[in-house]
Structure 1
Amino acid sequence: MIISSPMVIAVVALGAIVLLSIFFHFVPFFLWLSAKVSGVKISLIQLFLMRIRNVPPGIIVPSLIEAHKAGLRTVTRDNLEAHYMTGGHVQRVVHALVSASKANIDLSFEKATAIDLAGRDVFEAVQTSVNPKVIDTPPVAAVAKNGIQLIAKARVTVRANIHQLVGGAGEDTILARVGEGIVSSIGSAETHEQVLENPDSISKLVLSKGLDAGTAYEILSIDIADIDVGKNIGATLQMDQANADKNIAQAKAEERRAMAVATEQEMKAKAQQARAEVIQAEAEVPKALAQALREGNMGFMDYYKLENLKGDTAMRDTIAKLDPTAILGGKKEGK
């Protein structure tokens, strides 16, 4: 089989392209040339070894060039490779170092890499140090001593504290402390009118407490943006207390009524039981009299006297129940 020359040329060209692609992938010649032109000393062998170590030269070399142009002689290839292999953001660290150098901020390579590995954006921190940012607090509700609620919003101007970024608290802690200070300041005011007249007193009091201690930021100013009057919490609490006292009194009264009803029912039950016992005893009297007559313990005359006594007693009860006016009226008519 005879292969035509154009096909051979195409195969050879394709092979050459593949070989060149592999070569330039493992030996980034153009990156080496760019570094050489920029004054960065790095060899092709070092670039090849970067590929073997799975370190992208496309990140390390431009970062070295940037650091060299900015005059950062402490930034070396080994440092950048080590930081990349530990999971850091090489380009972000170099950007931060260059910005800090231009702004005369004392930031070493070790400090920058530590901040980056701590999970913070070191470049943004440097920018915040140069250009402070404003944090708006959510509405904070507090009650003055006269019971009136005030709802305040504040704007906190902060600047990043480079030396406390590692281990320092974040924005949430700043907002929580400022909110706590606003509540304390409003709560110590005698009336809500005092706060409305001098809202800057809140800012001065909160700012004097050193709320940025242990945080990654330095508080520059706290400005009260808005204050609204809320509910009369004192009156609401008094009404709730009055309703609670009323409910307690009603419950106690109901308890006493229930006890009285229970006592009355108990007395009625005892009275009924006593009446039943009396009726039962009265029912036994004739039997006892008959027994006494049969056994001779009572004579007939004694029984007769007893019946007369009962008749006299019944007559007196009847006379006692009559109306005296009716009796006197009947006597007059008889006359």
Structure 2
Amino acid sequence: MPVASIIMLSLLLLFVVLFFYFVPLGLWVQSVVSLGLGPISIIDLIRMRLRKITPRLIVDGVINLHKAGLPSISTDMLETHQLAGGQVPNVVIALIAAEKANISLTFETATAIDLAGRDVQTAVATSVYPKVIDVPLEGYLAAVAKDGIELKARARVTVRTNIPGLIGGATDETIIARVGEGIVSAIGSSDTYTTVLENPDNISKAVLSKGLDAGTAFEILSIDIADLDVGKNIGAS
């Protein structure tokens, strides 16, 4: 085969490869079948390639959002979020989950949470299905009642995500610290250790009433004293 023919064939092959790279016809056909003509054009897909955006993520995201009843979120919105360094799949899944669970979550809020470094997908899941935080994570809280008897306590705190509070709000560590301090303070305010042992719910109610979830990413639903043991007689030592 002449050298000129080989060069021409190579150039033609290169052109075909580049054409199908910059013009993902398969994705366009998929979008037309799912959304109809209009929402995503060939030009949109070429522009994504030129802007170094992954067309597959955007197309799949828009299709899934439309199927979930969220047609107002456009390709431009998802592209902008990806260019900002956001995780498009996480945001899409979170928005769909919130829509199904009837949770108020706007695209702007979801992307802001994602760009803040929080897992918006997990946040929505925790808003639907509350999680339990152990206080403390390990060991026991030691507190002394007014009669000098030490009590060792562990609590289980049930929380759900306060979605607006995720942007700049404190996380699990703050809840653990605040609840721990509240339990120690409540036990320390009790006249006798037997009062605490007989009515541990009073400690829970006292701590819960302090609004310890203010400024955090969570809403405290309940505080349960899981373990309560008698320690040393500090007053006698």
Structure 2 length-normalised TM: 0.91
Q: Which has the larger radius of gyration?
A: 1
1:181 equivalenced with 2:188 (yes/no) = no
Taking the aligned partners of 1:117 and 1:146, their CA distance within structure 2 comes to: 51
1:46 equivalenced with 2:60 (yes/no) = no
Taking the aligned partners of 1:28 and 1:216, their CA distance within structure 2 comes to: 41
Which amino acid in structure 2 is aligned with residue 189 of structure 1? S
Deviations 1:35-92 (Å, cap 9, x if unpaired)?
1111152111211111111111121111111111111122111111111111111111
Taking the aligned partners of 1:26 and 1:233, their CA distance within structure 2 comes to: 76
> Relative contact order (C-alpha < 8 Å, sep 6+): which is higher?
2
- Write 1 or 2 for the structure with the bigger share of strand: 2
Query: 1:166 is matched with which residue?
Result: 167
Query: 2:57 is matched with which residue?
Result: 59
Give the SS at the match of 1:107: coil
Runs (4 or more) in structure 1 with deviation over 4 Å come to: 7-17
- Superposition pairs for residues 105-184 of structure 1, below 5 Å? 105-138=103-136, 139-184=140-185
Which amino acid in structure 1 is aligned with residue 130 of structure 2? P
Which amino acid in structure 2 is aligned with residue 72 of structure 1? L
> Is 15-24 or 25-34 further displaced after alignment?
15-24
1:27 equivalenced with 2:23 (yes/no) = yes
Q: Which residue of 91, 94, 111 maps to 1:93? A: 91
> Is 37-46 or 50-59 further displaced after alignment?
37-46
Is contact 1:155–1:222 with CA below 8 Å preserved after alignment? yes
Query: 1:297 is matched with which residue?
Result: none
Taking the aligned partners of 2:43 and 2:178, their CA distance within structure 1 comes to: 55
1:83 equivalenced with 2:84 (yes/no) = no
1:21 CA displacement: 2.4
Which amino acid in structure 1 is aligned with residue 204 of structure 2? S
RMSD of equivalent CA atoms: 2.0
Taking the aligned partners of 1:10 and 1:206, their CA distance within structure 2 comes to: 81
Q: How many residues align?
A: 232
Query: 1:199 is matched with which residue?
Result: 200
Deviations 1:222-264 (Å, cap 9, x if unpaired)?
011101222222222xxxxxxxxxxxxxxxxxxxxxxxxxxxx
- Write 1 or 2 for the structure with the bigger share of helix: 1
- Superposition pairs for residues 273-292 of structure 1, below 5 Å? none
Taking the aligned partners of 2:209 and 2:6, their CA distance within structure 1 comes to: 80
Could you tell me which runs of 5 or more consecutive residues in structure 1 were left unpaired when the two chains were aligned. Answer: 237-335
Which amino acid in structure 2 is aligned with residue 199 of structure 1? P
Is contact 1:74–1:109 with CA below 8 Å preserved after alignment? no
Deviations 1:84-131 (Å, cap 9, x if unpaired)?
111111111111111111111111111111111111111111111111
Taking the aligned partners of 1:8 and 1:87, their CA distance within structure 2 comes to: 46
Q: Which residue of 26, 32, 36 maps to 1:36? A: 32
Give the SS at the match of 2:154: strand
1:11 CA displacement: 8.0
Give the SS at the match of 1:55: coil
